[in-house]
Amino acid sequence: MNQNPDARVGGSVRVVGTGLLGASIGLGLTRRGVDVILSDASRASLDLAVDYGAGRPPHEGDDPALIVVAVPPDATASVVAAELNAYPRATVTDVASVKVAPLSELEALGAEHGSPDLARYIGSHPLAGRERGGAISARADLFVGRPWVVCPRPGVARDRVGLVEHLALDLDAAPVALTAEAHDAAVALVSHAPQVVSSLMAKRLDGAPASALALAGQGVRDVTRIASSDPELWVQILSANAPAVAEILRAFRDDLDDVLRALGDVEAPGARRTIAQELAAGNAGVAGLPGKHGQDRRFASVVVMVDDRPGELGRLFTELGEIGVNIEDLRLEHSPGAQIGLAEIAVLPETKTRTVDDLSARGWRIAG
Amino acid sequence: MNQNPDARVGGSVRVVGTGLLGASIGLGLTRRGVDVILSDASRASLDLAVDYGAGRPPHEGDDPALIVVAVPPDATASVVAAELNAYPRATVTDVASVKVAPLSELEALGAEHGSPDLARYIGSHPLAGRERGGAISARADLFVGRPWVVCPRPGVARDRVGLVEHLALDLDAAPVALTAEAHDAAVALVSHAPQVVSSLMAKRLDGAPASALALAGQGVRDVTRIASSDPELWVQILSANAPAVAEILRAFRDDLDDVLRALGDVEAPGARRTIAQELAAGNAGVAGLPGKHGQDRRFASVVVMVDDRPGELGRLFTELGEIGVNIEDLRLEHSPGAQIGLAEIAVLPETKTRTVDDLSARGWRIAG
């Protein structure tokens, strides 16, 4: 019987590691009334996460149903093993960004590590994060709408897998079943290789003349945004998934060599065609991404021109409230110094016509 | 005497080429009351831009003071030459993304092209654009707050350079003087090389399993966003700036080879250090970009928790207006289904404390 009426997971949940992911999990579960036990090798980190409302410190006799190991990839296997041994009834999962390496490491652990009971271990990985780490950046809604990959090994009990899926659902994430190998290949493509590419492009900017950097627009900013990620964490991730990442980067490098050859003599026969084909292949690749950035297809967009003076946005949103339209998302384009801002409002598609008509009737200028 | 009381440029402006840039220039100048003459090799494109309000068709006897050539890079030099010859009094500029190649081409043109009068030509380049091209995507505010590089050749009359600077200022852009060579090196770094890197990364996504693409988060989306750019245009840009682009991409390729070697044997001495150093250099590079995306340093950020019901944002902004705080930028983080949204408001740093205090006193929960 579930002690947590607002949650799917029953019983207490122990979270080991109170960084960004661990603290966010604690916040989200606590909000659902789950008893969250926090543990961290650093007393200061633990205290911060407790103060932050992510859970409570451990007590003698804690008997968690589920343990979530949220420590850096290099430490994951040994911490999982220790938790399996310390809590002989608990299901143990981890949230590391790689899944094959910790599992292989666990399988290699022998009697000197107490021969951990891997029938109770199910690796998982929530696809969520921020450039900023630590409990201080934690958010209860970090996982909302994000995939949470669950990698059960063959033979693991179905109800234990279900417990990890319930964890994901309680945090409003979407559980996705993949093998550890399929997971690692997928994240090599959509996360690890892009990290390397972004970092190496950003490195080119280091030491560049200010007059050149002053010309930077949104394009290079977007390409290099994730280059601000933590090197220490990413060395662990890339090392743990090296073969899959290298396979993608080698193909990238081969294409880059083709482009470099073409750029070396752009008048040579076929040179321009080579470049065009690479660019066109990039078009095709980005078109395949589901739900493209900035154009969430679930919503319709209304762009309203707003005078740049205090209270104008307030008046707009008050009137949207009067009209009875809820704002699903919002982006303000405002050029400092300009007299006009553009408020791009995402609304449910069925309310768009009414929103535009009612706002126009109230004198708002609709830009698109 | 200036015929255009709301504009710095005096007289008529002829815009040749009514794609995204040409039509946006026409819209912006028309809004300032300037007589804009549009010309395009395609009658359909011209008609669309005229319908769009970007200017009027040419008339017999037009005598433009300034001509803006906004055609693809490959066509720029020949169109500039033709305009110089057709309008013997006009100052002619172009807006191509490369500056050395069109100038060299123009200088190489001889008597058979009417020996164009290059003393009236000043190349320029507004750093503005969108992934979507064509007049249909044009916006009068496309250039607001963006740099507009002006590349005067030695000996060009100061008042002609001033006319091109006035064009930039009339479109609310910031004129920046650079040599053609410095311009091309700068855009190779902040625009052209990132385009290649983004496209080659996006190519990796083409044909990937849907289960892998479903795990894509904001990181890979940002890295590959500009990969949706027009290949035909970009082949011209990259070819015209090939040596500068190749220099950056070669350094990128050499670093990538180092990373690949390290990934090939992550346990080898120094392998992890190599990877960490590349990532740290990326940190440094992205930190050097002025006014980083999403964390504009000119402003302080206040994060307010907002209940997800109609009118709540209105109440927030109304109260900000009552407090007398102007919102410089705004981002709404709203997870569909969640009961709470986070409104991240950028305010002038000196008003942050008062904003937080006054909002808290009114019962708003401040998240950061």
* Paired residues of A68 in beta bridges: A15, A93
Distance from the Cα of A111 to chain B's closest Cα (Å) equals 25
In which residue ranges of chain A is CATH 3.40.50.720 found? 13-178
CB within 8 Å of chain A, chain B residues 339-368: 340
Q: CA quadruple A319, A321, A325, A329: dihedral positive or negative?
A: positive
Q: From its phi and psi, is residue A134 left (phi > 0), alpha (psi between -120 and 50) or beta?
A: left
- What are the structure tokens assigned to B47, written together? 């008609």
Q: Which residues of A touch B129 (CB under 8 A)?
A: 217
How high is the pLDDT of residue A293? 39
For B63, the 3-state DSSP assignment is coil
Whether A286 and B224 lie within 8 Å, measured CB to CB: yes
- Look-up of token digits 């069109």: B102
pLDDT tens across A82-94, in order?
999 999 999 999 9
A334 and A295 in contact (C-beta within 8 Å)?
A: no
Class of A300-366 in CATH: alpha beta
Residue B113 has pLDDT above 80, yes or no: no
- Radius of gyration of chain A from Cα atoms? 25
Q: Which residues of B touch A269 (CB under 8 A)?
A: none
Q: Nearest-CA residue of chain A relative to B207? A: A285
Q: Which residues of B touch A252 (CB under 8 A)?
A: 200-201, 203-204, 256
CB within 8 Å of chain A, chain B residues 98-137: 127-129
Whether B223 and A197 lie within 8 Å, measured CB to CB: yes
**Do the strands B340-347 and A147-151 form a parallel or antiparallel pair, or are they unpaired?**
unpaired
Q: Nearest-CA residue of chain B relative to A255? A: B200
At residue B333 the predicted structure's pLDDT band, cuts being 50, 70 and 90, is low
Determine the Cα–Cα distance for residues B245 and B183; give it in Å rounded to an integer: 12
pLDDT tens across A133-174, in order?
677 778 888 898 889 999 999 889 999 999 999 999 999 899
- What are the structure tokens assigned to B330, written together? 């705004």
Distance from the Cα of B144 to chain A's closest Cα (Å) equals 7
Q: Is B232 on the interface with A (CB under 8 A)?
A: yes
Helix (H) or strand (E) holding B104: helix B100-108
Q: A100-121: string of b/e by CB count within 10 Å (b at 16+)?
A: bbbbebbeebeeeeeebebebb
Closest alpha carbon to B54 in B74, B77, B70: B70
Whether B223 and A220 lie within 8 Å, measured CB to CB: no
Determine the Cα–Cα distance for residues A195 and B217; give it in Å rounded to an integer: 12
In which residue ranges of chain A is CATH 3.30.70.260 found? 300-366
Q: Which residues of B touch A147 (CB under 8 A)?
A: 214-215
Point out the residues of chain A with pLDDT beneath 70: 1-2, 130-133, 291-298, 308, 310, 328-329, 332-341, 368
- A331-345, B173-187, B350-364, range with greatest mean pLDDT: B173-187
| Superfamily in which the A184-285 domain is placed by CATH | 6-phosphogluconate dehydrogenase C-terminal like domain (1.10.3660.10)
Q: Nearest-CA residue of chain A relative to B288? A: A206
Residue B293: exposure state from Cβ atoms within 10 A (0-12, 13-18, ≥19): middle
Whether B309 and A326 lie within 8 Å, measured CB to CB: yes
Q: Nearest-CA residue of chain A relative to B242? A: A263
Residue of B223, B289, B319 lying closest to A216 (CB–CB): B289
The secondary structure of residue B233, as a DSSP letter, is: H
Whether A311 and B322 lie within 8 Å, measured CB to CB: yes
Residue A88: exposure state from Cβ atoms within 10 A (0-12, 13-18, ≥19): exposed
In which residue ranges of chain B is CATH 1.10.3660.10 found? 184-283
B332 and B341 in contact (C-beta within 8 Å)?
A: yes
Extract the runs of DSSP E, i.e. beta strands, from chain B.
13-16, 36-39, 66-69, 91-94, 121-126, 147-151, 174-177, 300-307, 329-334, 340-347, 365-366
In this structure, the number of other CB atoms found within 10 A of the CB of residue B111 comes to: 6
Helix (H) or strand (E) holding B271: helix B271-287
Distance from the Cα of B45 to chain A's closest Cα (Å) equals 21
Q: Is B337 on the interface with A (CB under 8 A)?
A: yes
Closest alpha carbon to B169 in B329, B32, B70, B11: B32
Closest alpha carbon to B106 in B80, B129, B144: B80
Q: Is A253 on the interface with B (CB under 8 A)?
A: yes
The secondary structure of residue B135, as a DSSP letter, is: G
Whether B246 and A264 lie within 8 Å, measured CB to CB: yes
Q: Is A287 on the interface with B (CB under 8 A)?
A: yes
Instruction: Calculate ∠ Cα A68-A69-A71, nearest 5°.
Output: 145
Residue B301: exposure state from Cβ atoms within 10 A (0-12, 13-18, ≥19): middle
Distance from the Cα of A330 to chain B's closest Cα (Å) equals 6
Q: Does domain B184-283 have CATH number 3.30.950.10?
A: no
How high is the pLDDT of residue B336? 43
SS (H, E, C) chain A: CCCCCCCCCCCCEEEECCCHHHHHHHHHHHHCCCCEEEECCCHHHHHHHHHCCCCECCCCCCCCCEEEECCCHHHHHHHHHHHHHHCCCCEEEECCCCCHHHHHHHHHCCHHHCCCCHHHEEEEEECCCCCCCCHHHCCCCCCCCCEEEEECCCCCCHHHHHHHHHHHHHCCCEEEECCHHHHHHHHHHHHHHHHHHHHHHHHHHCCCCHHHHCCCCHHHHHHHHHHHCCHHHHHHHHHHCHHHHHHHHHHHHHHHHHHHHHHHCCCCCCHHHHHHHHHHHHHHHHHCCCCCCCCCCCCEEEEEEEECCCCHHHHHHHHHHHHCCCCCEEEEEECCCCCEEEEEEEECHHHHHHHHHHHHHCCCEECC
Determine the Cα–Cα distance for residues B163 and B171; give it in Å rounded to an integer: 13
Residue B349 has pLDDT above 90, yes or no: no
Q: Which residues of B touch A248 (CB under 8 A)?
A: 204
pLDDT tens across A263-315, in order?
999 999 999 999 999 999 999 999 999 864 344 456 788 888 777 676 777 78
Q: Which residues of B touch A215 (CB under 8 A)?
A: 127, 147, 149, 176, 186-187, 190-191
Determine the Cα–Cα distance for residues A27 and A49; give it in Å rounded to an integer: 9
End-to-end CA distance of chain B: 54
Q: Nearest-CA residue of chain B relative to A283? A: B228
At residue B338 the predicted structure's pLDDT band, cuts being 50, 70 and 90, is very low
Q: Nearest-CA residue of chain B relative to A330? A: B332
Residue of A231, A278, A292 lying closest to B280 (CB–CB): A231
How high is the pLDDT of residue A69? 98
Average pLDDT over residues B341-350: 79
Distance from the Cα of A140 to chain B's closest Cα (Å) equals 10
Distance from the Cα of A163 to chain B's closest Cα (Å) equals 21
- Look-up of token digits 């991404």: A289
Q: Is B228 on the interface with A (CB under 8 A)?
A: yes
* Paired residues of B305 in beta bridges: B342, B365
Closest alpha carbon to A177 in A203, A147, A208: A147
The set of residues, in sequence order, having a beta carbon less than 8 Å from that of B48 and lying 6+ positions away, is B18, B135, B136
In which residue ranges of chain A is CATH 1.10.3660.10 found? 184-285
Q: Nearest-CA residue of chain A relative to B199? A: A282
How high is the pLDDT of residue B91? 98
A130 and A137 in contact (C-beta within 8 Å)?
A: yes
* Paired residues of B39 in beta bridges: B16
Distance from the Cα of A2 to chain B's closest Cα (Å) equals 23
| Superfamily in which the A13-178 domain is placed by CATH | NAD(P)-binding Rossmann-like Domain (3.40.50.720)
For B150, the 3-state DSSP assignment is strand
The secondary structure of residue B128, as a DSSP letter, is: -
In Å, what is the CA distance from B282 to each residue of A1, A47, A48, A245? 51, 32, 30, 18
How high is the pLDDT of residue B199? 98
Q: Which residues of A touch B207 (CB under 8 A)?
A: 288
Distance from the Cα of A3 to chain B's closest Cα (Å) equals 23
pLDDT tens across B275-331, in order?
999 999 999 999 999 864 444 456 788 888 877 676 777 788 778 878 888 776 677
Q: Which residues of A touch B345 (CB under 8 A)?
A: none
Q: Nearest-CA residue of chain B relative to A285? A: B206
Q: Is A185 on the interface with B (CB under 8 A)?
A: yes
Report percent pLDDT > 90 for chain B: 66
Could you tell me where the DSSP H helices lie in B171-270? 180-187, 193-205, 210-213, 218-224, 231-240, 242-264
Q: Which residues of A touch B227 (CB under 8 A)?
A: 279, 282-283, 285-286
Mutate to test the interface with A, among B6, B99, B142, B200 (most CBs of A within 10 A): B200
Sheet holding B36-39, edge to edge: B36-39, B13-16, B66-69, B91-94, B121-126, B147-151, B174-177
Whether B289 and A220 lie within 8 Å, measured CB to CB: yes
The set of residues, in sequence order, having a beta carbon less than 8 Å from that of B134 and lying 6+ positions away, is B19, B20, B23, B45
End-to-end CA distance of chain A: 53
B167 and B66 in contact (C-beta within 8 Å)?
A: yes
